[in-house]
Amino acid sequence: MKKVVLILLSVITLATAAMAQRRENEMWFKHAIGFRYELLHAGMCGASYERFWTRHNSWEVMGGWYFAEGVEFAGFYKYTSTFPGLSPQFRWYIGGGAHVASWFNAKPEDYAPFVFGIDAIAGVGFVFYKVPLGISIDWRPQIDLFTKAPKKVNDWGQRFNPEKLGITFRYVMKFRTFNNNVF
C-alpha cells in the first residue's frame, strides 16, 4: 500500500511541476512504446504500445509475464480527454478490451492453462513535451469468461480480478498537434 501511495504522490508532483511550464499548443503523442509494471496481483512486467488515431481515441496493446506464474496479453480501446483548467499534458482515460493468459508454472488445481476475458481500464497520464516520455497509472479490473479454474482460488475468486493497478513508462515516438480533432 505504501508503494501505491508513493506512486500516486509522484504522479501528482509531476503534474504540478508541469503546470509551471509554459503552456504549449495542445499536443499529444501519436505512437508510444514502453514498459509496464503492475503493482498488485503477482507483479506483472511487460511491454505496452499505444497509438492515437484521433484527439480522444486510441488503442493500446500490452503483454507481460507474471513472475514464475504465466503470461498475459491484452488489447484496449481508450477514450482520452484533458482535465479542465490543467495543462493538456495531464490527461485521464477510460476504456475496455479483452485479455488472454496462460498459467504455465502453476498448480492445475489453482489456475487454468488458458484464460480469456474482458477488461475495463481507467487512469491518468502525463506527457513531457521537452522530453519524449509519457507516464501513466491505471486500474484494470478483469472478468475471466473462459477458464477451467476453480470458482474460488483467491480472495476475489478467479473469475473477477480487481487487483490490477499498473504504472507505464512510454517513449513517445511522435508528437502531433491536433487539427480539427484528427492527427
Query: Could you tell me if 101 and 71 are in contact, meaning their C-beta atoms sit under 8 angstroms apart?
Result: yes
Of 97, 92, 89, the closest CA to residue 56 belongs to 92
Between CA 60 and CA 78 the distance in angstroms is: 8
Query: For position 109, what pLDDT does the model report?
Result: 60
Q: What global pTM score does this model have?
A: 0.74
Structural domains for the chain = 2-175 (2.40.160.20)
Instruction: Name the E strands within 39-183.
Output: 44-52, 57-66, 70-82, 90-102, 115-128, 133-139, 142-146, 160-161, 165-177
Tens digits of pLDDT across the chain (183 residues): 666 555 655 555 555 444 434 333 455 778 899 999 988 766 788 999 999 888 889 999 999 887 767 888 999 999 999 898 888 889 999 999 999 988 776 566 656 677 889 999 999 999 888 888 999 999 999 888 877 665 545 544 467 788 789 999 999 887 666 554 444
Residue 130 neighbours by CB under 8 Å, 6+ apart: 21
Predicted pLDDT of residue 178: 52
As a whole number of angstroms, the distance between CA 99 and CA 143 comes to 9
Cα 91 to Cα 94: distance, rounded to the nearest angstrom: 11
CA gap 169, 34 in Å, rounded:
5
What is the 3-state secondary structure of 33-55?
A: EEEEEECCCCCEEEEEEEEECEC
Q: What angle do CA 143, 51, 47 make, to 5 degrees?
A: 60
Q: What is the pLDDT of residue 159?
A: 75
Tell me the C-alpha distance between 70 and 34, whole Å. Answer: 20
